[in-house]
Amino acid sequence: MSNIKYILGSFGDPDEMMHGIEKLQENNIKIHDVYTPMPIHGIEAKLGVKRSRLDILAFFCGITGTVSAFALIYLTSVVDWRHNIGGKPAFALPDFIPIMFEVTILFCAFGLVGSYYASTHLFPGRAPRVMDLRATDDRFIIAVDAQENGDHSKIDGLLKEAGAIEVKHNERKYISYE
Amino acid sequence: MSGHNESILREPLITGNDITYAKITDDILMPVENKPNRAWWIGFIVSLMGATLWLVAVSYTFWNGIGSWGLNKTVGWAWDITGFVWWVGIGHAGTLISAVLLLFRQNWRNSINRSAEAMTIFAVICAATYVVSHMGRPWLAYWVLPLPNQFGSLWVNFNSPLVWDMFAISTYFSVSLLFWYTGLLPDIATIRDRATGLRRRIYSIFSFGWNGNVKTWQRFETVSLILAGISTPLVLSVHTIVSMDFATSVIPGWHTTIFPPYFVAGAIFSGFAMVLTLLLVARKVLGLENYITMFHIESMNKIIILTGSIVGVAYITEFFIAWYSGSEYEAYAFINRSTGPYWWAYWMMMTCNVISPQLLWFKKIRLSIPATWILSIVVNIGMWFERFVIIVTSLHRDYLPSSWAMFYPTWVDVSVFVGSIGVFFTLFLLFLRVLPSIAIAEVKLLLKTSSEQAKLAQIKEGHLDKTHVKEYVESLEKFDSVKQEEYAKI
């Protein structure tokens, strides 16, 4: 075995890259991942990335916010210490709604974004795991694991045929570590 | 992607015939990756002087107390709350562009959302500083929070709109910041991968390790959509609650049910005006004419006509109801507003907010950059006067003529306001230098479908309806960034 770890097909056009994915899949070559400078619609179906469940999570975070806000207001101004404001009732539900709404949004947004960062391993100072520096600029990169897929020249050929501008053989997985 | 061609009848969102993905990155990162030019330095130094003035004026207020402002026992709120509502209102356009236009799939938002959201965040910072400094004893600002305390377990009054406002503004600020920063991650990664040395390390920390793989992008889009969905009712609720600070009181001129929709429309109106004020200059100075086109400017002008007209209808309705309600105090408050000692402020507001935006019905004015820029400033002046009129004229004459008074600002009032504009511009100019002013990834999405060159290629293929092509070519005449001679032969 050579010490090549990953084969990268670098495309200048998203449609050609999609074509490249099809070509590789027709030949039963497993794709490690795809790196693009912008979201590509329809790619997740091709690569079998499952539908995100973040929306369900966001809903439950929101509900938690609603309940927490209600609990806070009820326990403080109805149970713990009633204010007498012009003889009006302490349990004034319509007055509670603005804060319940705001806290719903707050919990929903923070729960959602927090789980997104956690599930995709994004956090401040994380070492970027980048295979090709132009993947965030103008190149669409298909990465194939070279150890799992033996026939390198065939992969090269398929990528070139689909329109890859260049094909790289990387001996390190991530080039971004200094 | 290229399987679906966008209708030729839609105007292009990116102009120019030599745009590539690489060129988009280069163009947008030009101000970030190069040393600033003279225009930036002049703007920055002037803004920094303003920010310094703000620092002096706010410190003076903290040291000497609210007595250093021109408030008196009749007019207890004046420039402080005027400035607060003005800034919060300006912030609303950013969320509207990033959230509401995303839900409606308006692709023209892609090239203006980033700087509009930045504007939102900086405007809300300015607004928040007013809230803190008008408290008198800002070191006790935490008293607005429902914290367990030693005052006899007395909690905050949850029936008070001022407490609602605290929750609304802080939620709005933090959710806007999350939305903005999450959208920035791919673009910070772009800067990181093009930089070297220390610069790379710094942007690396702030990029959160973004690498643009399939799963991250897919989740990114889900997150953006949900954030847009929750930010839309949020932005409406924020100015609704700001308006309730007034509407739930029993002061004639404030006690009206029309306030929430009227304040929200006014907020969007002033926010879009501020976006235009900033972007018309930025597009020229940073050379972004191909991405922020005449189509964007015209669309924003149309929103200004719509919201300006809603505001106009609200003013007239308010006046009518003051008479129709039969409440003599309400009627007096409005007669006094338009003919009393503050008549000039009222008519200033009417002229700037209701009459002058109607000029935008004329296509020539709507498509003229200098006229649009001047009108955008006029709108912002008008919206400042709107808040001044609502606040000061309703307070200065109460039920006892013996306590009638006028409000005269001191140098501290003026300096806090002028200084807050300096703070805003300082932050905005710094933003232009360190972060991309246009969402790079989102603009790249438009290149293959909505750009001028993609449409030109479609025309050249020749399968299109001739009348549609003619209409499209005619629509290009307004673009200052399109080379018209290329279309002469088609």
Cα–Cα dist B425/B433, whole Å: 12
Distance in Å, alpha carbon of B213 to nearest chain A alpha carbon: 4
Among A85-89, A162-166, B304-308, which range has the highest average pLDDT?
B304-308
Structure tokens given for B16: 């120019």
Taking the CB of residue B207, how many other CB atoms lie within 10 A of it?
27
Taking the CB of residue A75, how many other CB atoms lie within 10 A of it?
12
- Among A46, A78, A136, A173, which would you mutate to test the B interface (most chain B Cβ atoms within 10 Å of its Cβ)? A136
Q: Determine phi and psi for B86, rounding to 5 degrees.
A: -60, -50
Task: Write down the pLDDT at residue B392.
Answer: 92
Burial class (CB in 10 A: 0-12, 13-18, 19+), B153: exposed
Task: Write down the pLDDT at residue B419.
Answer: 94
Task: Write down the pLDDT at residue A178.
Answer: 53
What is the architecture of the domain spanning B36-143+158-443? Answer: Up-down Bundle (1.20)
The rounded average pLDDT for each run of 10 residues, N- to C-terminus, in chain B (490 residues) is: 69 87 90 88 95 94 90 89 92 86 88 91 91 86 83 79 92 93 93 89 91 90 92 92 90 89 91 92 88 91 93 93 90 92 93 92 92 94 93 89 91 94 94 92 88 84 83 84 76
A17-31, A53-67, B356-370: the lowest-pLDDT one: A17-31
ipTM of the complex: 0.92
Smallest Cβ–Cβ distance between B216 and the set A103, A110, A120 belongs to: A120
DSSP per-residue codes, B396-427: SS-S-GGG-------HHHHHHHHHHHHHHHHH
- Among B2, B20, B21, which would you mutate to test the A interface (most chain A Cβ atoms within 10 Å of its Cβ)? B21
Torsion angle, alpha carbons of A25, A27, A33, A38, to 10: -50
Tell if the CB–CB gap between A37 and B441 is shorter than 8 Å. Answer: yes
Task: Write down the pLDDT at residue B1.
Answer: 43
Q: Determine phi and psi for B9, rounding to 5 degrees.
A: -70, -20
The pTM for the full model equals 0.91
Task: Write down the pLDDT at residue B136.
Answer: 82
Residues from chain A contacting residue B161 (CB–CB below 8 Å): 98
Domain parsing of chain B, residue ranges: 36-143+158-443
Task: Write down the pLDDT at residue A111.
Answer: 95
DSSP per-residue codes, B166-191: HHHHHHHHHHHHHHHHHHHHHHHHHH
Tell if the CB–CB gap between A109 and B22 is shorter than 8 Å. Answer: no
